[in-house]
Amino acid sequence: MLLVFLLNLREGWLQAKGCWDLEGCFSCPQDELREQLTCFCALKLVSAGAKTAARPFEYGRTHVVRPKGRHQATIVWLHGLGDNGASWSQLLETLPLPNIKWICPTAPTRPVAVFGGFPCTAWFDVGDLSEDGPDDVEGMDASAAHVANLLSTEPADIKIGVGGFSMGAATALYSATCFAYGKYGNGNPYPVNLSAIVGLSGWLPCSRSLKNKVESSQVASRRAAALPLLLCHGRGDEVVLYKHGEKSAEVLRSNFQNLTFKTYNGLGHYTIPEEMEDVCKWLTATLGLDGSCS
């Protein structure tokens, strides 16, 4: 059962491979059957070992795409489960957004519950790719802090944002809630001023506690209302189901009033040029980019 589930998920990622490669998660041999068996064995081994090791996780390599024109904004872009920063930096480099500097970090490799403990690059532990899952607040805080640190040294006149795909989108949305609330889940102050959030094919983690947190403070409500969010989701997404994306947008919209939700017929768990065009237009308008290359 678990194996079948895993392979179905893998299927979704393979579709996503159209634009970029997956590394880090499945380093199994090519042969399909051997791949299944090796993954399954590795999974068993890791879930046995995971209980004893409780080290802090190390983040992977960060790739930076320099702006081709005048630098006006910096966005940290977060990859999905099992992917890495390099693959997205290659795609982002091709976008007609000369005023944006992209920072593409790589998540730590860690055991992930949705794979029965199989190690993957992941921004936090997850048992269920939806807004209903239990929340690894510690893992999300650590990743949101890693992102904020990457942005904290940007000059004051540069607008900053966070975006991502799938679990990266979930982490971007978690960062948005920390920014609005002014604090991480652990109570430490959130240190940067976000101007834009983009989430593709993702979901909102911690949705149960969001409402209370944001509504409990006028400052938080005002910050949430003023922060522009763009969420995009394929109606054919079988990995992070469309209904979860839609539900997340609904929950968010009650606080984050400047939220745009775009949907794409027939789109699965991957991106297409039409979607990236929408992202470019939205970022250019929202961040007031001048769009020139010199």
Ligand X SMILES: *[C@@H]1O[C@H](CO)[C@@H](O)[C@H](O)[C@H]1NC(C)=O
Looking at the annotation, which residues are catalytic? Answer: 166, 237, 269
Q: Does 292 bind ligand X (CB under 6 A)?
A: no
Which of 195, 207, 248, 271 is the binder for ligand X (CB under 6 A)? Answer: 195
| In the complex, least distance from residue 77 CB atom to ligand X, rounded to whole angstroms | 19
Specify whether the CB–CB gap between 182 and 214 falls below 8 A.
no
Closer to ligand X by Cβ: residue 159 or 244: 159
Q: Does 284 bind ligand X (CB under 6 A)?
A: no
Round to whole Å and give the CA distance between 273 and 156.
32
Q: Does 193 bind ligand X (CB under 6 A)?
A: yes
| In the complex, least distance from residue 226 CB atom to ligand X, rounded to whole angstroms | 7
Q: Does 72 bind ligand X (CB under 6 A)?
A: no
Q: Does 63 bind ligand X (CB under 6 A)?
A: no
Which of 38, 90, 221, 258 is the binder for ligand X (CB under 6 A)? Answer: 258
Which of 82, 199, 228, 234 is the binder for ligand X (CB under 6 A)? Answer: 228
Specify whether the CB–CB gap between 191 and 157 falls below 8 A.
no
Q: Does 260 bind ligand X (CB under 6 A)?
A: no
59 three-state secondary structure: coil
The residues with which 198 forms a beta bridge, in sequence order, are 163, 230
Q: 234, 259, 237, 175: which is closest to 210 by C-alpha?
A: 175
| In the complex, least distance from residue 258 CB atom to ligand X, rounded to whole angstroms | 4
Specify whether the CB–CB gap between 80 and 38 falls below 8 A.
no
Round to whole Å and give the CA distance between 111 and 263.
32
Specify whether the CB–CB gap between 96 and 74 falls below 8 A.
no
Closer to ligand X by Cβ: residue 137 or 225: 225
Count the neighbouring beta carbons within 10 Å of the beta carbon of residue 215.
13
User: Residue 245 — φ and ψ, nearest 5°?
Assistant: -65, -45
Contact code string over 124-153 relative to ligand X, x by CB under 6 A: ------------------------------
Which residues would be at the binding site for ligand X (CB under 6 A)?
159, 193, 195, 228, 258, 286
